[in-house]
Structure 1
Amino acid sequence: MSETTFVSLKENTANPAPLGLLAFGMTTVLLNLHNAGFIEMSPMILSMGIFYGGTAQVIAGIIEAKKNNTFGLTAFTSYGFFWLTLVGLIVMPKLGWFPAPTKASMVAFLVMWGIFTFLLFLGTFKINRALQFVFASLTILFFLLAAGDATGNESISKFAGYEGIICGASAIYTGVAQVLNELHGRVVWPIGPVA
């Protein structure tokens, strides 16, 4: 009778969440520096939207799929394509490919992303406090941006910019905290894990 051998497989894929969070956070801060009136809309913001906020988040989402993390896959891939879509909405009309989106269509776009983000926010109650803050502040940001577009009130849009800077900074914090905590093997920057 032959002897049975058991093989144990260990997952060696690095954690893609910091990449996704930093890509989202840095791009969000830069766009909202524009929304708050600190900097102009420029190719720098659009390039970040394509290559870091967009592409890097999609890559992070694909790696999350390999790690069997449905939440990470859904969030990072979706927000990566959000950034690519947003850049498309800005650039394609300037290239003459399509007319600029109407105010109503942009409000609908932002409201749908607000609803989507709120639904993902509910999932963060099983993850950690830092992500709860990121998703809560992002939900608020989408609805503020929608309100600013719907009313044409520049004060709301400017306030959304300030709120967006806070949202993006919280994502940067959460991404760096994950890197530092993993490197040190202990909590260096707390993220408030759910018990």
Structure 2
Amino acid sequence: MPGEKSSNIYVQEFKPTEKREKNDRLGELRATTSDLRPSTSYKRYYHHPPAPKLANPTPLGLSAFALSVMVISFYNCRAFGIDIPNVAVGVCLFTGGIVQFAAGMWEMRVGNTFGATGFGAFGGFWASYGVIFIPSFNVNQAFVDANGVFQETQYHNALAVYCIAWTVFTFIFTLACIRTSGAVLTAFVLLTIVFVFETIYHFTMVQIFINIAGIIGIITSMVVWYCFAGVLLTPDLSPISLPLYDLSVKV
């Protein structure tokens, strides 16, 4: 209490003790410590409130990932006659980039290394992909030579290297999915194939390969949407539940 001279957090109360034998030190210690009780000041200054409950960030990350893959895959297929994919810039930067990266950081907060790595890394991927279509970053303009000729082959080779790097990352991440669930593993196997076909397209510039990448990408987005529904539709929210086919090793 304020104004008290003693700062001890424990108050010792002594009770009359029976006569002890000489040099019975152990008996003395037991007798003098058996009556210790926490002081009121200890309870006041050292009491910790319960930790707040944290929400599950996985559905947010999955929804952002599925939406971004779906939009870009439709553009890769040239669906509905769309040849200019710049409408996807906002999706790449905000939904695929910021939202997914934020979900990854919250996965880190709840101790999920797998989710933090996946959402965090692919949040960076989508943001970097969106930058390619923003004129002010001069990504395309950098491949125009002094004569004003666009170096198409060099441009596509540069994008192929970009896709190779993400193919390697996605393949390694797929290996980390082996003991998660069947739905998640399927999604990343398909995503790895998408990056492989995009790499082939940029090296060969044959349209059929990017179309195949787009079709597989749409299938991938459907699988991720399924994962999103399976995680979000919990018994307290919906009577519907979807199995994710757990692959974890039971100990």
TM above 0.5, yes or no, is yes
**TM-superposed deviation, 1:71:** 1.0
**Larger displacement relative to structure 2 (35-44 or 172-181):** 35-44
How much is the aligned-residue C-alpha RMSD, in angstroms?
A: 2.4
Superposition deviation, residue 138 in structure 1: 0.6
Residue in 1 that maps onto 2:121: 78
With 94-103 and 35-44 compared, the bigger mean Cα shift is at: 94-103
- Computing the radius of gyration from Cα coordinates, the structure with the larger value is 2
Indicate the residue corresponding to 2:24 in structure 1. Answer: none
List alignment gaps of at least 5 residues for structure 2: 1-35, 144-153
Partner-residue secondary structure (3-state), 1:56:
helix
Distance in 2 between residues matched to 1:125 and 1:66, nearest whole Å: 23
Q: Could you say what secondary structure the match of 2:125 adopts? A: helix
1:14 and 2:67 matched:
no
State the percentage of identical aligned residues. Answer: 24
Contact preservation (8 Å) 2:200, 2:209:
yes
Amino acid at match of 2:74: L
Tell me what 1:89 maps to. Answer: 132
Match 1:161 to one of 196, 214, 223: 214
Deviation of the 1:2 alpha carbon: 3.7
Structure 1: runs of 5 or more not aligned:
none
182-191 or 142-151: which moved more?
A: 182-191
Q: Distance in 2 between matches of 1:139 and 1:52?
A: 21
Query: Structure 2 CA distance, aligned partners of 1:17 and 1:194?
Result: 18
Matching residue of 2:88: 45
Give the Cα separation in 2 of the matches to 1:22 and 1:141. 19
* Superposed displacement of residue 45, structure 1: 1.4
Structure holding more helix per residue: 1
Equivalences for residues 124-143 of structure 1 within 5 A:
124-143=177-196
Distance 2:76 2:64 in 1: 18
1:167-193 alpha-carbon deviations (Å, 9 max, x no partner):
111111101211013545887111111
Q: TM-score, normalised by structure 1?
A: 0.89
Please state whether the residue corresponding to 1:124 is helix, strand or coil. Answer: coil
Provide the secondary structure at the position in 1 that maps to 2:228: helix
- In the alignment, which residue of structure 2 is the partner of 1:65? 108
User: Aligned in 2, Cα 1:20/1:96: closer, same or farther, shift over 3 Å?
Assistant: closer
Matched residue type, 1:103: H
Relative contact order, CA 8 A, sep 6+: which one is greater? 1
